[in-house]
Amino acid sequence: MSRRPKLIATDLDGTIVQHNGTISTRTIDVFTRAHAMGIHIFFVTGRPPRWMDEIRDAFGFGSAICANGAMLYDLQTGTVTQEWMISQEDQIEIAHRLRPAMPGVSFAVEAHDYYYREKSYTPRWDVGLDNVGVLKIEDVIKDPALKMLARCSGGELTSDQMLAIATRELDALATVTHSNSRDSLLEISALGISKGATLSVVASRLKIDASECVSFGDNPNDFSMLRWCGRSFAMADGHPEGFSHASGIAPACADDGVAEVLEKLLELPA
């Protein structure tokens, strides 16, 4: 007989956070019910911690895995508890390998307390955080970083095309993914770091097996997490390859797909 999960891991944007930035009351209610049952809740996201206040305010519970697995973040106290960083040397090597392989590419780097970009990198979310920019990202790479971002600001390549190139060029150097097929943007982490890898670490610390976990996601940065969990659901309106990495399909984010699935899972015996 199927059992109620002991751990729920969910992506945010496009999964439980709708495309207009809202979270439905139905979604908050079902997660609140799961939390009250003693189920561990992990919000697993590509977001940096500076974008997590709205999640804390909406739910008031749960733990966070940020930056595609590069950070464990205490959502309630606003403190970083563990990080897996890209070294200064590897950041520079990443830029050197991708420039000749990817026409029009530009870079940004971020940690939990800073964000720098090249002048040619057009930001969409952190507009105003770095208004100046630098000519080459190597000029500001002085410390380890949580994430490098590679963008084709002119739309020269799609995110999927960029991912194919970068996966080849950065083999054995870094982990590459993306979270938006329409944005011509890659997210680059230290080698071996992913949502799934970090989720496996925290579940092991809680003595919870993969078979006792359920996850939800919509884009390639979620695929490692979908593959790792015993039960996983790709969003019906997500990346078309998501279905091959998950054990099930959840209705679209706009239709409260995660809430619909969880309402059924919470009816199962413990």
Q: Residue 245 maps to which CATH number?
A: 3.40.50.1000
Domain end point (choices 145, 172, 190): 190
* Same domain as 103, residue 52: no
Complete edge-to-edge strand list for the sheet that includes strand 105-111? 114-117, 105-111, 147-152, 185-190, 174-177
Domain with 98 in it: what CATH number?
A: 3.30.1240.10
Q: What's the Cα-to-Cα distance from 180 to each of 56, 142, 145, rounded to whole Å? A: 23, 28, 21
pLDDT in tens, the chain (270 residues): 599 999 999 999 999 999 899 999 999 999 999 999 999 999 999 999 989 999 999 999 999 999 999 999 999 999 999 999 999 999 999 999 999 999 899 999 998 778 899 999 988 776 556 667 899 999 999 999 999 999 998 888 999 999 999 999 999 999 999 999 888 999 999 999 999 999 999 999 999 999 999 999 999 999 999 999 999 999 999 999 999 999 999 999 999 999 999 999 999 999
- Structural domains in the chain (count): 2
Q: Are strands 63-66 and 174-177 parallel, antiparallel or unpaired?
A: unpaired
* Residues in CB range of 194: below 8 A, 6 or more apart: 68, 69, 175, 177, 221, 224, 225
* Same domain as 28, residue 94: no
* Same domain as 148, residue 68: no
Residue listed under structure tokens 């097996």: 209
- Would you say residue 22 lies in a domain? yes
* Residues in CB range of 110: below 8 A, 6 or more apart: 48, 67, 116, 145, 146, 147, 149
What span, in angstroms and rounded, lies between the C-alpha atoms of 150 and 153?
A: 9
Structural domain boundaries, residue 173: 88-190
Q: What is the reported pTM?
A: 0.96
